[in-house]
Amino acid sequence: MPECPELHLAARYINEACGGVVFAGGVERSAVGRGPEVPFSSEAYRISAASRGKELRLRLAPLGPGASQDLVFRFGMSGSFRLHPAAQLPRHAHLRFLTRENPPRALCFVDVRRFGSWRLGDAWQPGRGPCVLSEYQAFRENVLKNLDDKAFDKPICEALLNQKFFNGIGNYLRAEILYRLKIPPFEKARTVLEALKEQEQARRKKNPSLTLSKKLKLKRENPDLLELCHTVPMEVITAEKKLFDPDDSDNYAAFKNWLQCYLVPGMSSLRDRNGRTIWFQGEPGPMAPKGQTSRKKRAQLKADPEAPTPEVTTHTSKRRPRAAAKPPKLVTEEEEEAAAKPRKGRSRGRKRAAAAPDSSEPEPPAKAKRSRRTTARRGRGGAPAV
């Protein structure tokens, strides 16, 4: 699922690709897009973007008279923006803004899985805290002054997905942050963060005369969890090899190489109480869910997901594997909840698979079997079958 680095890079992509481009006409919406019609039309307008946590705001600003129109997007699991020739629109382009060029191009909100959405207006979603990227000091203060909130009664891996306090952090970022600090994912969040608060207070008392440059140096050498909530996403954004460049076909491989924990072979994994998988190394911590066994990712599983699958022709190989148990209902993101629901037709597929023979060896016709039995009886003197 896109997290704050992807939203930030998407906003930067829009501003760079559309900075000098003039758009015209109305906004086109697909019939299945998860958002309202956009009541905006102009003979000439420009588009700019800004991000905050897991949201992106698009502004349509007329070059002449008329009011601007703002839209706020959530990317769901697969949302992104692309600028394409209008004659060659990508599939699943659910919202389209046409340029005034000849031939025209279209800035498209592309969302294959359709969990992304948009709404009219410039307001960020209420209840989300300050952004870990663009509002770091406010983010840090918001966490440390609210440690008595019941959200911090939960394991730290679950608290990190609470957008009221960690706006922009998602599944892969929480794994990378906890791994670098060697914090067990199922340690109580308040225990982790109160220790951090005490360390900060002790450091201030011990070195009240530290210059700003020395303070910054100490933070770089010994970052705490809240600092990593800012610096780890910044690594993705400032990477020399662009990890989420829409025009770079090798970006997925570069992103996999950047990961140190998430989906990395040799790491363990467990599902948290919201059904989300957390990757980690070492002990899970005292609040780990009961009844689960930590699974380690094997090296051979880190294969290219786009590698071609060999063709299989035997009858038994066509049987579908048994569907995995449905995970607990998720509460952090509604698009994840929708993704966890079983797809239609799966039970019928299992019934057909159960009826398939266990061997690829074809059964002989019934007539042929009777013929062999008759021959055998004649050879034994025509003894009757028992």
Q: How many residues does the chain have?
A: 386
In a domain, 87, yes or no: yes
Last residue of a domain, one of 67, 95, 120: 120
In a domain, 39, yes or no: yes
Query: Do 142 and 116 belong to one domain?
Result: no
In a domain, 60, yes or no: yes
Query: Do 159 and 83 belong to one domain?
Result: no
Query: Do 24 and 68 belong to one domain?
Result: yes
In a domain, 95, yes or no: yes
Nearest to 273 by CA among 254, 296, 292, 259: 292
Question: Which has more confidence, 339 or 269?
Answer: 269
Has residue 289 got a pLDDT over 60? yes
Query: Do 149 and 212 belong to one domain?
Result: yes
In a domain, 288, yes or no: yes
Share of the chain above pLDDT 70, in %: 69
Query: Do 61 and 112 belong to one domain?
Result: yes
E strands in 177-304: 268-271, 277-280, 295-296
pLDDT digits (tens, 9 = 90+) for 262-272: 999 999 999 99
Active-site entry in 2, 130, 184, 185 = 2
Contact yes or no for 77/90 (Cβ under 8 A): no
Query: Do 144 and 101 belong to one domain?
Result: no
- Is 3 annotated as catalytic? yes
Last residue of a domain, one of 85, 120, 155: 120
Query: Do 77 and 165 belong to one domain?
Result: no
Contact yes or no for 340/330 (Cβ under 8 A): yes
pLDDT digits (tens, 9 = 90+) for 231-250: 999 999 998 777 776 556 56
Q: For residue 177, how far is the Cα from the chain centroid?
A: 16
In a domain, 15, yes or no: yes
CA 267/CA 334 separation, integer angstroms: 27
Share of the chain above pLDDT 90, in %: 60
Query: Do 72 and 194 belong to one domain?
Result: no
Active-site entry in 3, 187, 333, 336 = 3
Instruction: Report the DSSP beta bridge partners of residue 46.
Output: 61
Query: Do 113 and 156 belong to one domain?
Result: no
Has residue 359 got a pLDDT over 80? no
25: domain range? 4-120
Percentages (nearest 5) of helix, strand, coil residues in the chain: 35, 20, 45
What CATH number does residue 289 fall under?
Answer: 1.10.8.50
Last residue of a domain, one of 120, 154, 177: 120
Query: Do 149 and 289 belong to one domain?
Result: yes
The number of folded domains in the chain is 2
Active-site entry in 5, 6, 28, 54 = 54
Query: Do 29 and 110 belong to one domain?
Result: yes
Contact yes or no for 251/244 (Cβ under 8 A): yes
Nearest to 190 by CA among 158, 232, 215: 158
In a domain, 319, yes or no: no
Query: Do 282 and 159 belong to one domain?
Result: yes
pLDDT digits (tens, 9 = 90+) for 147-176: 999 999 999 999 999 999 999 999 999 999
- Is 101 annotated as catalytic? no
